[in-house]
C-alpha cells in the first residue's frame, strides 16, 4: 500500500470513528433554547460587522487605491455552509483551524525539512466535484482571520472560475489570464481589495480557449517568482484545476511550496488519487484533506466534515506519514 493510500485510508477511518461522537455534539446544539440561539446570532452578527468594518476602514485609509472593492457576500456564504466571521466557533471554522496550523508552521520554518516558497499554497483535487473550491475559500478566509497574516487568494481554475463568483467578484474583472497574456496588465492592476481587512483576490480574469495552457507558460513561472519575492510575508492560496483534467495543473503544482489535496470521501476513487499524485513532484509537502459530505442541522450548521493528514515526500528523505500534532 502506497503512502497516499495509507493517508486516505487513515483519514476515512478517522472520520468513521468520529461520526457518532460528532452527531451527539450537534444534537446538543439543536436542543439549545430559542433565547440562547438568538443571543448567539446577535453576537455573531456583531462580530461579522466588526470584521468587515475593519477591512473597509483600512482600505479607505489607503491612498491612491482606486480599484473596486469586492464585497464578499457573507450572508450567502453562511447559507451555503462556508466559514464566515459571523460564526467564529462553528464546526467548519474549528476544522479549518486544525487544517491551517501545519501549513502556517511550515511557512514559519518549523517543518521537518526546508520548504521553498512555503507561502505559496495550492488547493487541488484529482477530479471535479471533490470540494476543492469550497476548501480553498475556507482556507483563505480562515488564515485571513489570523492576527498576523495577510492572504492573497488566486482563482487559478480558469476554466470554471467558480471561486470568483462565490466571493462576489464583478463579472468581467481582469485577472490572472489578463496578466499572463501580456496585454499591458500588471499584477498590481488585478489584485482586488475586499471587505475583509487581510484578504485580497486575483480573479481568473477574461478566460478563453487557451487559458489553461497559460498556467504552464513561462509567463506563469515569472508570475510565481514575482509573487514569492514581492510578497514573502503574504500567504498566497491558489484554487487550481483538478490534476487529472489538465496537464497544466501538474506544472502549476510543481511551482508551489505546499499542496492541499482534497479527496471526496464518497466520490474520489483510490486509483484517481494515486494517479493524480504522480503529477506532483517528490519534493512537495502534500496535505490530504478528506472532504466528507455531511448534513448537520442546528445553529452551527455546515455541509462538510473533514479529516486532515500530511503525506511528506521531501528532498530525498523518503516517504513518511505525519499526523498533525495536537494544537497545530
- pLDDT tens-digit series, residues 25-72: 333 434 434 444 444 454 554 555 555 444 444 433 333 345 789 999
Domain membership of residue 79 as a residue range: 74-291
Q: Which residues in the chain land under pLDDT 70?
A: 1-66, 292-328
Is 142 contained in some domain? yes
Is 212 contained in some domain? yes
Burial of residue 139 (number of CB atoms within 10 Å: 0-12, 13-18, 19+): buried
Residue 68: predicted pLDDT: 84
Continuous segment of H or E residues that includes residue 40: helix 34-61
Residue 13: predicted pLDDT: 61
Angle between helices 132-144 and 91-107 (to 10 degrees): 70
Domain count, the chain: 1
DSSP string, 160-224: T-HHHHHHTPPTT---HHHHHTTSS--HHHH-EEBSSTTEEEE---S--TTHHHHTTSHHHHHHH
CA gap 51, 214 in Å, rounded: 36
Residue 57: predicted pLDDT: 43
Residue 120, domain CATH: 3.40.50.300
Is 313 contained in some domain? no
Residue 113: predicted pLDDT: 82
Residue 203: predicted pLDDT: 97
Q: What is the pTM of this model?
A: 0.75
Is 170 contained in some domain? yes
Amino acid at each position: 500500500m502506497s503512502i497516499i493510500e495509507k493517508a486516505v485510508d487513515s483519514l476515512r477511518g478517522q472520520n468513521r470513528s468520529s461520526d457518532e461522537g460528532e452527531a451527539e455534539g450537534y444534537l446538543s446544539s439543536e436542543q439549545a433554547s430559542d433565547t440562547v440561539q438568538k443571543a448567539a446570532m446577535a453576537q455573531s452578527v456583531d462580530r461579522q460587522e466588526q470584521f468587515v468594518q475593519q477591512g473597509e476602514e483600512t482600505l479607505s485609509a489607503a491612498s491612491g487605491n482606486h480599484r473596486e472593492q469586492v464585497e464578499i457576500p457573507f450572508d450567502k456564504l453562511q447559507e451555503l455552509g462556508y466559514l464566515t466571521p459571523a460564526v467564529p466557533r462553528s464546526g467548519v471554522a474549528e476544522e479549518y483551524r486544525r487544517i491551517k496550523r501545519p501549513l502556517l508552521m511550515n511557512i514559519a520554518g518549523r517543518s521537518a525539512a526546508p520548504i521553498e516558497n512555503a507561502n505559496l499554497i495550492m488547493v487541488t483535487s484529482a477530479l471535479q466535484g471533490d470540494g476543492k473550491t469550497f476548501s480553498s475559500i475556507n482556507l483563505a478566509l480562515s488564515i485571513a482571520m489570523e492576527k498576523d497574516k495577510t492572504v492573497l487568494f488566486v482563482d487559478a481554475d480558469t476554466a470554471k472560475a467558480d471561486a470568483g463568483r462565490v466571493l462576489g467578484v464583478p463579472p468581467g474583472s481582469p485577472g490572472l489570464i489578463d496578466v499572463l497574456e501580456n496585454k499591458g496588465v500588471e499584477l498590481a492592476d488585478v489584485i482586488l481589495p475586499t471587505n475583509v481587512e487581510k484578504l485580497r483576490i486575483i480573479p481568473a480574469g477574461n478566460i478563453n480557449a487557451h487559458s489553461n495552457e497559460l498556467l504552464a507558460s513561462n509567463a506563469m513561472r515569472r508570475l510565481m517568482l514575482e509573487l514569492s519575492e514581492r510578497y514573502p510575508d503574504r500567504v498566497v492560496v491558489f484554487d487550481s484545476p483538478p490534476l487529472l483534467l489538465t496537464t497544466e495543473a501538474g506544472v502549476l503544482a510543481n511551482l508551489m511550496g505546499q499542496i492541499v489535496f482534497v479527496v471526496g470521501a464518497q466520490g474520489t476513487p483510490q486509483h484517481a488519487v494515486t494517479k493524480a499524485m504522480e503529477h506532483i513532484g517528490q519534493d512537495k509537502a502534500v496535505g490530504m484533506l478528506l472532504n466528507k459530505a455531511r448534513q448537520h442541522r442546528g445553529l452551527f450548521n455546515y455541509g462538510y466534515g473533514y479529516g486532515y493528514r500530511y503525506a511528506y515526500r521531501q528532498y530525498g528523505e523518503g516517504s513518511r506519514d505525519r499526523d498533525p500534532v495536537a494544537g497545530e
